[in-house]
């Protein structure tokens, strides 16, 4: 059966500060989606959080970018914002950048990852959710899952994966896209996706079957709003097993707590720490950036799960490493490369300071 899996998320208020989500907000959102399920709009849903972001995971048969589904998400966020305001949660409605819904939540603030698929006999999917970072954070893990034989042995020894995968890359600044095939165009691909603040992997396709393997949210809030309004805190859906990487190959890239943009004031590099869903509470210096993984088996669109994939003790060592890296990076204080380069910082006082001191600069002779 044709099925659409939609993950739509927004930060509509933090508890406390930007560190977590309030349980009442999650409960209210779950009730809103339960109503939509009763009305027949949704096949199934799961509401969860990653840090201060509310995550709506929905299955339906309306296809991608469907107005009714997007309106359901938007209305749920608007109602959540009202509740967040009444609880005086921090930054209530922070990601809702438009006053009224206009057909599609894209470009309105919320993050969206959707895929329409033909559900396989058994369909394991993993939904990754991140807090305190931006959409390019998926570039390295997606590259490793689908193109790196040191991560995914299936690329080498599984007959149905040996042809490789195609990567759709978005230039988030110029609003352009390109598709590159691995393994042959691997070096060209890396030229782009190694610069994650500008180029983000939007989707990955199996070259054997043409089927979609992964999709991410690539909205950059700052580019939509033209000012800092919070980090993108992106999501990513990955299909697994069979012609796709095994669950263990999909999770393996997160054993490296690689440095991502975000953390305090969206203006630092910090280690991407894989955690169990209840541990997505970025508190230390508003971080370090977190990633969670909710695993589901789909059954005629029903979401069987989630299994909290990073709850596994085998990720404990990664968390320890991430904490060590966090300490090391923090010791750089306001210096790069802990602080982001000037053009990437989400907060800056540079224009004011430069203006104030304008007259005190003199030419080097």
Contact residues toward ligand F6R (CB under 6 A) are 17-18, 91, 132, 230-231, 262, 264-266, 286
Positions in 118-137 near Mg ion (CB under 5 A): 131
Residue facing Mg ion at closest CB distance: 18
* Residue positions counted in the chain: 365
Q: Is the distance from CB of 152 to CB of 249 less than 8 angstroms?
A: yes
CB of 19 to ligand F6R, least distance (A): 9
Catalytic residue among 9, 45, 231, 233: 231
- Give the span between the Cα atoms of 309 and 295, in whole angstroms: 6
Q: Is 231 marked active-site?
A: yes
Positions in 130-189 near Mg ion (CB under 5 A): 131
With CB under 5 A as the contact rule, which of the stretches 56-64, 85-93, 141-149, 352-360 interacts with Mg ion?
85-93
Q: Are strands 259-262 and 212-216 parallel, antiparallel or unpaired?
A: unpaired
- For position 18 contacting Mg ion by CB under 5 A, the verdict is yes
- Give the span between the Cα atoms of 75 and 8, in whole angstroms: 12
Q: Is the distance from CB of 123 to CB of 239 less than 8 angstroms?
A: yes
CB of 29 to ligand F6R, least distance (A): 20
- Give the span between the Cα atoms of 254 and 263, in whole angstroms: 17
Q: Is 228 marked active-site?
A: yes
Q: Which two tokens mark 123? A: 């369909």
Nearer to Mg ion, 44 or 52 (CB): 52
Nearer to ligand F6R, 203 or 259 (CB): 259
Q: Is 205 marked active-site?
A: no
- Give the span between the Cα atoms of 151 and 144, in whole angstroms: 6
CA nearest to 220, candidates 241, 239, 199, 203: 199
Catalytic residue among 9, 11, 199, 233: 11
CA nearest to 165, candidates 203, 137, 191: 203
Residue 53 interacting partner from Mg ion, ligand F6R, none (CB closer than 5 to 8 Å by kind): Mg ion
Q: Which of 4, 10, 14, 245 binds Mg ion (CB under 5 A)?
A: 14
Q: Which of 53, 123, 252, 261 binds Mg ion (CB under 5 A)?
A: 53
- Give the span between the Cα atoms of 55 and 293, in whole angstroms: 12
> What is the set of active-site residues?
11, 228, 231
Q: Which residues bind Mg ion (CB under 5 A)?
A: 11, 14, 18, 51-53, 91, 131, 233
């Amino acid at each position: 059966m044709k099925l659409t899996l939609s993950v739509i998320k927004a930060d509509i208020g933090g508890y406390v500060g930007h560190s977590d989500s309030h349980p009442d907000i999650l409960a209210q959102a779950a009730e809103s989606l339960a109503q939509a399920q009763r009305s027949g709009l949704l096949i199934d849903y799961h509401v969860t959080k990653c840090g201060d972001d509310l995550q709506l995971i929905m299955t339906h048969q309306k296809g991608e970018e469907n107005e009714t589904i997007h309106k359901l998400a938007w209305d749920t966020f608007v109602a959540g914002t009202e509740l967040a305001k009444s609880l005086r949660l921090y930054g209530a409605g922070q990601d809702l950048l438009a006053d009224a819904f206009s057909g599609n939540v894209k470009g309105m603030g919320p993050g969206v990852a959707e895929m329409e698929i033909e559900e396989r006999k058994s369909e394991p999917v993993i939904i990754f959710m991140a807090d305190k970072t931006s959409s390019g954070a998926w570039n390295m893990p997606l590259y490793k899952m689908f193109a790196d034989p040191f991560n995914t042995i299936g690329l080498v020894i599984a007959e149905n994966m040996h042809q490789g995968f195609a990567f759709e890359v978005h230039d988030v600044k110029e609003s352009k896209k390109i598709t590159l095939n691995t393994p042959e165009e691997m070096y060209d691909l890396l030229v782009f996706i190694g610069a994650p603040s500008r180029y983000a992997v939007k989707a990955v396709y199996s070259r054997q079957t043409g089927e979609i393997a992964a999709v991410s949210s690539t909205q950059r809030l700052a580019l939509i709003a033209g000012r800092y309004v919070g980090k993108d805190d992106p999501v990513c859906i990955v299909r697994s097993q069979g012609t796709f990487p095994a669950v263990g190959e999909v999770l393996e890239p997160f054993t490296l707590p690689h440095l991502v943009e975000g953390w305090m004031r969206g203006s630092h590099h910090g280690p991407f720490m894989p955690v169990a869903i209840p541990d997505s509470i970025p508190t230390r210096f508003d971080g370090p950036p977190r990633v969670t993984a909710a695993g589901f088996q789909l059954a005629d669109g029903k979401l069987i799960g989630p299994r909290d994939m990073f709850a596994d003790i085998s990720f404990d060592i990664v968390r320890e490493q991430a904490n060590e890296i966090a300490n090391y990076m923090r010791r750089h204080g306001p210096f790069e490369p802990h602080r982001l380069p000037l053009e990437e910082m989400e907060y800056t006082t540079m224009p004011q300071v430069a203006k104030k001191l304008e007259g005190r600069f003199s030419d080097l002779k």
